[in-house]
Amino acid sequence: MTAPSGGPDRAGGAEARTEPAPPRRRDAARSRELLVQAALELFAERGYDRTTTREIGERAGVDPALIARYFGGKTQLYLATVRLELGNETPADLLEEERLRTLLVRLTQRGPGPSFQSAVLPGDNTEVQQASRSYLYERVVDPLRERFTAERVDRPQLRAELAAAAFAGVVLARSSGAFSELAAADPEELLPLLHGLLAASRPS
Amino acid sequence: MTAPSGGPDRAGGAEARTEPAPPRRRDAARSRELLVQAALELFAERGYDRTTTREIGERAGVDPALIARYFGGKTQLYLATVRLELGNETPADLLEEERLRTLLVRLTQRGPGPSFQSAVLPGDNTEVQQASRSYLYERVVDPLRERFTAERVDRPQLRAELAAAAFAGVVLARSSGAFSELAAADPEELLPLLHGLLAASRPS
DNA sequence: ATGTGAAGACATCAGCTGATGACATCGACT
DNA sequence: AGTCGATGTCATCAGCTGATGTCTTCACAT
């Protein structure tokens, strides 16, 4: 975990895929990947601002200077992580309980990314925030709005934003350490409560 | 607003109280007050971390060095603002619509303080976080928990924290610029929706 | 084996932030 | 008027952060 330079990293075995070269000691692609992975974790834990390039480099076992070399800077590295996550999953509709569960569990394991933090933080309107917010819309707000529109609820956009904001608050609060019981609650226990709360974003 | 040294500041009139001294050009008490006021505004707008002592000094028209002199540092200045807010109002029970309205309107005018941000964001300054969280508990969580307890709802603490987190998310989101309709919505328009949402934190 | 370009390590820079100490200036009191 | 503490101003420090440039080291092709 700390020093990839010393030990053999070939534990994975030899899968003969498009890339036959296994564990080169100098491998830009691997370094890039390690950086993105470390950045993904750290950004999720602490958010964008509070994560330093040196931390990212340390966790990745890669020199922080390579962030600038390979991505252009911290900003672009973050954008790379967002693009990575965007491809990952289908947008979740928070009101469908199964998808809410998936999302909740996932956000419990790793922290909520900067996307959720950007929902709540005052904006310099940087590139980072715009990307985070696009991600949030695509992932949370838009599916909700579509559901509300289909259900012929009035003010679907406002209701979707309201529910998304509430959800962001809960998810962020869980990892902030401010609320003890909320943080300690098991996702399965929290799920019905949270689902009930979010469901109230449409008229009964 | 910028240069208190130039103009006469005696607008208040001469109330003969314990302190007869009217508008001294050098007045530590006044400087302290200006600093606290500026800090209150800036912390509410941008949060603790993103506010610099130089900004505070600039807005207050006071040299930033006096922050250290009069308060000990940025941290203690923040604590002073929290103490100021704590004395202000009676704790609000979010489920009582009139109090929710009051709180919502107030948080709409000035931004949400760092108390709400700390509820939701991880922070590094422990003193600041603890003060913020105490404030939040006293102001939002505890009244809700007491209501739930009185209503014999199960898991009152968890439900109170859940509602508080959701409320914090919505309030913060409104001033973050991430959600257009949510930010643009009039408090009176938002009130029933938000009230309905929060009311769902207890079982129907 | 060996030359060459890629990959990485390291030192360092510039900007910002909070804090501090030295100095200047005011104003109340004698 | 003169003194001295209180108040305000300024320059500056130390720490952190992102970024950059240079030098070394390796892997591959020849």
Q: What does the alpha-carbon distance between residue B133 and residue A177 come to, in Å, rounded to a whole number?
A: 10
pLDDT band at B24 (very low <50, low <70, confident <90, very high): low
Number of C-beta neighbours around residue A154 at 10 A? 9
Task: Give the span between the Cα atoms of B149 and B35, in whole angstroms.
Answer: 41
**Using the CA of B68, which nucleotide's C1' is the nearest one?**
C19
User: A197: closest CA among A167, A161, A155?
Assistant: A167
The fraction of chain B above a pLDDT of 90, given in percent, is: 71
Q: Between the CA of residue B46 and those of A69, A120, A180, B95, B118, what are the distances in Å?
A: 32, 11, 25, 27, 12
Asked if pLDDT for residue A190 goes beyond 50, the answer is yes
- Three-state DSSP at A27 gives coil
Whether residue A195 has pLDDT greater than 50: yes
Q: In chain B, where does DSSP find H-type helix?
A: 28-46, 53-60, 65-71, 74-88, 97-109, 114-120, 126-136, 142-150, 156-176, 180-184, 187-199
What distance in Å separates the CA atoms of residue A41 and residue B40, rounded to the nearest whole number?
A: 34
CA distance between the termini of chain B: 52
d(CA B114, CA B118): 6
Most confident of A77-91, B53-67, B121-135: B53-67
Q: What is the per-residue pLDDT for B23? A: 55
Pick from A87-91, B121-125, B162-166 the range whose average pLDDT is largest: B162-166
What residues have CB less than 8 Å from A63, skipping those under 6 apart? Answer: A57
Instruction: Collapse the DSSP code of B157 into the 3-class scheme (helix H, G, I; strand E, B; otherwise coil) and give the result.
Output: helix
A51 beta carbon < 7 A from strand D? Answer: yes
Q: How much is the average pLDDT of A70-80?
A: 97
CB atoms A193 and B111 under 8 Å: no
Tens-digit pLDDT profile for residues B96-141: 999 999 999 989 988 888 889 888 988 888 899 999 999 999 999 9
Nearest residue of B to residue A204 by CA position?
Answer: B196
Contacts of B130 (CB under 8 A, 6+ apart): none
A105 touches strand C (CB under 7 A): no
Give yes or no for residue A94 having a pLDDT over 70: yes
Instruction: Using the predicted structure, report yes or no on whether residue B12 has a pLDDT greater than 50.
Output: no
A136/B178 touch (CB, cutoff 8 Å), yes or no: yes
Distance, CA of B29 to C1' of C28, in Å? 16
pLDDT, tens digit, 9 for 90 and up, residues B182-194: 999 999 999 999 9
Mean pLDDT of the region A1-18 = 37
Whether B165 and A180 lie within 8 Å, measured CB to CB: no
The nucleotide closest to B27 (CA, C1' atoms) = D7
- Name the more confident of B46 and A13: B46
Cβ count within 10 A of residue B46: 20
CA angle A197, B188, A96 (to 5 degrees): 20
Burial class (CB in 10 A: 0-12, 13-18, 19+), B197: buried
Candidates B104, B132, B197, partner chain A, best to mutate (most A CBs within 10 A):
B197
b/e sequence A108-138, b meaning 16+ C-beta within 10 Å:
beebbbbbbbbbbbbbeeeebbebbbebbbe
What is the predicted pLDDT for the residue at B85? 79
Distance (Å) from the C-alpha of residue B194 to the closest C-alpha of chain A?
8
Distance, CA of A22 to C1' of C16, in Å: 43
Rounded percentage of chain B residues whose pLDDT exceeds 70:
87
Q: How confident is the model at residue B79 (pLDDT cuts 50, 70, 90)?
A: very high
pLDDT for A8 equals: 37
Q: What is the DSSP letter of B5?
A: T
Quick one: pLDDT at residue B113?
84
How remote is the C-alpha of B106 from its chain's centroid? 9
**Residue indicated by tokens 């470390």:** A38
Q: How confident is the model at residue A24 (pLDDT cuts 50, 70, 90)?
A: low
> How many other β-carbons are positioned within 10 Å of the β-carbon of residue A195?
18
For residue B66, which nucleotide's C1' is closest to its Cα? D8
Task: Indicate if CB(A67) is under 7 A from strand D.
Answer: yes
pLDDT beyond 60 at B22:
no
Of residues B25 and B183, more confidently modeled:
B183
- Please indicate whether, in this complex, the C-beta atoms of B199 and A200 are within 8 angstroms of each other: yes
How far, in Å, CA of A127 to CA of B9, rounded? 44
**Cβ contact B108:B187 at 8 Å:** yes
Is B197–A118 a contact, with Cβ atoms under 8 angstroms apart? no
Residues of A with Cβ-Cβ distance to B175 under 8 angstroms:
122
Q: How far, in Å, are B28, B47, B105, B173 from residue A123 at the CA level?
A: 34, 11, 21, 10
For residues B87 and B158, the model is more confident at B158
Please name the amino acid found at residue A77: L
**pLDDT > 90? residue A90:** no
pLDDT in tens, A108-161: 998 898 999 999 988 777 899 999 999 999 999 999 999 999 999 999 999 999
Q: Is A5 near strand C, with its CB below 7 A from some atom of it?
A: yes
Share the mean pLDDT of chain A: 87
How large is the average pLDDT for residues B164-180? Answer: 95
Q: Return the higher-pLDDT residue of B91 and A105.
A: A105
